[in-house]
Chain A
Amino acid sequence: MSLKRKDLLGIKDLEVEEINLILSTAESFKEVGGREIKKVPTLRGRTVVNLFFEPSTRTRASFELAAKRLSADVINISAGSSSAVKGETLMDTAKNLEAMGADLIVVRHGSSGAPALLARALRCSVINAGDGAHEHPTQALLDLSTIQERKGRLAGLTVVIVGDVLHSRVARSNLWGLTKLGARVRLVGPPTMVPRDLGAFGAEVYTSLDEALDGADVVMTLRLQLERQGRAFFPTLREYGRLWGLTRERLQRAKPDVLVMHPGPVNRGVEIAPEVADGLSSVILAQVTNGLAVRMAVLYLLSGGKSE
Chain B
Amino acid sequence: MSPQANPKDAPPDLVIRGGRVIDPANGVDGVRDLALAGGRIAACASSLAVPRGAQTLDATGLVVCPGFIDLHTHVREPGYEYKETVASATRAAAAGGFTTICAMPNTDPINDTRAVTELVLEHAAREGVVNVRPVGAITKGSRGEELAEIGELAEAGCVAVSDDGRPVMSSLVMRRALEYALAFDLPVIDHCEDLSLSADGVMHEGKVSTMLGLHGIPAAAEEVMVARDLALCELTGGRLHLAHMSCAGSIRMIREAKARGVRVTAEACPHHFSLTDEAVIGFSADAKMNPPLRTRADVQAVIEGLADGTIDAIATDHAPHAPEEKSWPIDQAPFGIVGLETALPLALALTASGRLTLPQVIRLLTAQPAAVIKSDRGTLGVGAVADVTIIDPAREWVVDPAQFRSKSRNTPFSGWKMTGAVVKTLVNGKVVYDAV
Contacts and interface: CB of A to CB of B under 8 A. Distances in A.
A243 interface: no
B332 A111 contact: yes
A12 B328 contact: no
A117 B280 CA distance: 13
Given A113-B212, A169-B213, A197-B206, A89 B282 contact: no
Contacts of A91: 327
Contact of B327 (A89, A111, A201): A89
B303 interface: no
Contacts of B206: 197
27 contacts: A12-B211, A89-B324, A89-B327, A111-B329, A111-B331, A112-B213, A112-B283, A112-B329, A112-B330, A113-B283, A113-B331, A114-B329, A116-B283, A117-B283, A117-B329, A132-B214, A134-B212, A134-B213, A134-B214, A135-B213, A172-B211, A197-B206, A197-B207, A197-B210, A197-B211, A201-B210, A201-B211
Contacts of B213: 112, 131-135, 169, 172
B216 to A, nearest CB: 8
A113 B207 contact: no
Interface residues of A, number: 23
Contact of A132 (B210, B282, B327, B331): B331
Interface of B: 206-207, 210-215, 282-283, 324, 327-332
A198 interface: yes
A200 B327 CA distance: 31
Interface centre among B212, B282, B330 (most CB of A within 10 A): B212
Contacts of A109: 329
B214 A112 contact: yes
A200 B209 CA distance: 13
A201 B207 CA distance: 9
Given A113-B329, A117-B283, A200 B212 contact: no
Name B's interface SS.
loop
A303 B189 CA distance: 56
Nearest to A167: B213
A65 interface: no
A90 interface: yes
Contacts of A117: 283, 327, 329
A164 B220 CA distance: 23
A197 B210 CA distance: 7
Contacts of B328: 89-90
B214 A113 contact: yes
Nearest to B208: A197
B248 to A, nearest CB: 17
Given A111-B332, A113-B212, A200-B207, 11 more contacts: A89-B327, A90-B329, A112-B212, A112-B213, A112-B331, A116-B282, A134-B212, A172-B211, A197-B207, A197-B211, A198-B210
A195 interface: yes
B421 to A, nearest CB: 30
Nearest to A232: B196
Contacts of A172: 211, 213
B214 A133 contact: yes
B295 to A, nearest CB: 11
Q: Which 7 A-B pairs have the closest CB atoms?
A: A113-B283, A133-B213, A111-B329, A134-B213, A197-B210, A114-B329, A112-B213
Interface in A68-104: 89-91
B194 to A, nearest CB: 14
A255 B239 CA distance: 65
Contacts of A198: 210
Interface centre among A113, A117, A172, A198 (most CB of B within 10 A): A113
Contacts of A12: 211
B332 to A, nearest CB: 6
Nearest to A12: B211
B170 to A, nearest CB: 21
A117 B214 CA distance: 15
Nearest to A120: B282
Interface string A37-63: 000000000000000000000000000
